[in-house]
């Protein structure tokens, strides 16, 4: 049977924009790690020319090239796409129009953002004899960029409940994809857990989340899986002041669940994105990790002191640790690099000559 695969954030931005088709096939093929499974993805970076101008004035602006997008779609089997995130409209009408045009040319259903109201309707697709409805929403706390005349499925609990109920009439399985949560936190917030349970009670067969850039634990509620965050599956590294940079190293881990049916137990594939955006499979038991993290999450929600300690660690300690040990920004590697030592030698020689 064909497998259904779910990924976290996919942003074909930064250096990925310049990937050749061969680069994409070698580094970004999710299909080869998932037995050719049909992927449902959150696509973040809209397609725009390198010299395109964005009206977005605050925050990060993401862009993908036409070639990078087409290469990715050629080498990955995509079942459906959600565009409901905080970056889909970064390049306004032209960006979302070009992105949707490419998806349509590959006959890939999509939902969540666009320039027509119909672009917000559930993406309906079929895998073998099972019909699926994909609903996509972005929470306002993620600071989504909006532009007049364009549409974005902004998170409203009652609206999502109603959409889930309506979608039960359209498909055998209903998937709710949510762009939500706190950046870089390994734990969902209490309101997320409450809402996810409500969506399952309303009739959703699966709730899948992304945005925090790191993986979060999952749970089974009333026989249905809830993935609070699958992490960043592909997120382009970039050059800053002629040096390769990226999000913190902890964002380079993700996992993808593989389902033969949403009512059955999935297989988990842990992934890691190496420097330069190459995906590889990691070892590790995602189920055991999730059980352990769920226990910590419950303790965190019950104990105010523990919650403060964990929040401080995630906000400050992890950031400092990444600066010290991260393979992108390690100052100690900079200090003792070959170039730094050569410069120190030149300075010392120069001082000796002055004497």
3-class state of residue 211 by DSSP: coil
Same domain, 230 and 323: no
Distance (Å, whole) CA 277 – CA 293: 27
Same domain, 140 and 231: yes
Same domain, 276 and 307: no
State pLDDT tens for residues 21-41: 999 999 999 999 999 999 999
The β-bridge relationship of strands 232-235 and 4-11 is: parallel
Q: Are 230 and 255 in contact (CB under 8 A)?
A: yes
- Where would I find the beta strands (DSSP E) of 76-205? 78-82, 110-111, 113-114, 123-127, 130-138, 151-152, 173-179
Same domain, 160 and 216: yes
Domain ranges, residue 321 = 303-355
State pLDDT tens for residues 53-112: 999 999 999 999 999 999 999 999 999 999 999 999 999 999 999 999 999 999 999 999
In this model, does residue 344 exceed pLDDT 70? no
CATH code, domain carrying 166? 3.60.21.10
Say what the pTM is.
Answer: 0.92
Same domain, 196 and 327: no
pLDDT at res. 355: 44
Distance (Å, whole) CA 184 – CA 229: 10
DSSP string, 279-317: EEEPP--HHHHHHHHHHHHHHHHH-HHHHHHHHHIIIII
Which residues lie closer than 8 Å to 188 by C-beta, 6 or more apart?
181, 196, 209, 216, 217, 228, 229, 297
């Amino acid at each position: 049977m064909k497998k259904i695969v779910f990924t976290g954030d996919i942003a074909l931005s930064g250096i990925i924009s310049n990937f050749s088709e061969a680069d994409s096939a070698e580094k970004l093929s999710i299909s080869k790690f998932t037995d050719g499974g049909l992927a449902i993805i959150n696509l973040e970076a809209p397609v725009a020319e390198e010299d395109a101008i964005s009206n977005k004035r605050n925050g990060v602006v993401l862009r993908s090239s036409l070639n990078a997008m087409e290469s990715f779609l050629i080498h990955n089997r995509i079942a459906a796409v959600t565009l409901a995130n905080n970056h889909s409209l970064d390049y306004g009408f032209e960006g979302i129009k070009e992105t949707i045009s490419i998806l349509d040319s590959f006959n890939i259903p999509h939902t969540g953002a666009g320039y027509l109201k119909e672009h917000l309707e559930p993406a309906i697709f079929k895998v073998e004899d099972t019909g699926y409805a994909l609903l996509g929403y972005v929470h306002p706390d993620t600071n989504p960029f909006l532009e007049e005349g364009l549409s974005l499925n902004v998170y409203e609990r009652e609206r999502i409940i109603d959409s889930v109920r309506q979608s039960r009439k359209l498909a055998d399985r209903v998937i709710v994809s949510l762009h939500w949560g706190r950046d870089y936190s390994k734990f969902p917030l209490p309101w997320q857990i409450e809402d996810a349970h409500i969506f399952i009670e309303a009739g959703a067969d699966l709730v899948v989340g992304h945005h925090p850039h790191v993986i979060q634990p999952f749970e089974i509620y009333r026989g249905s899986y809830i993935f609070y965050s699958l992490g960043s599956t592909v997120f382009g590294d970039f050059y800053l002041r002629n040096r390769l940079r990226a999000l913190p190293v902890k964002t380079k881990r993700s996992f993808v669940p593989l389902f033969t049916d949403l009512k059955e137990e999935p297989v988990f594939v842990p992934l890691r994105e190496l420097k330069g955006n190459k995906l590889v499979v990691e070892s590790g038991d995602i189920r055991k990790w999730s059980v352990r993290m769920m226990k910590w999450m419950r303790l965190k929600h019950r104990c105010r002191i523990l919650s403060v300690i964990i929040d401080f660690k995630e906000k400050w300690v992890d950031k400092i640790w990444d600066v010290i040990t991260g393979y992108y920004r390690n100052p100690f590697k900079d200090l003792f690099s070959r170039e730094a030592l050569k410069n120190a030698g030149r300075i010392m020689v120069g001082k000796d000559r002055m004497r």
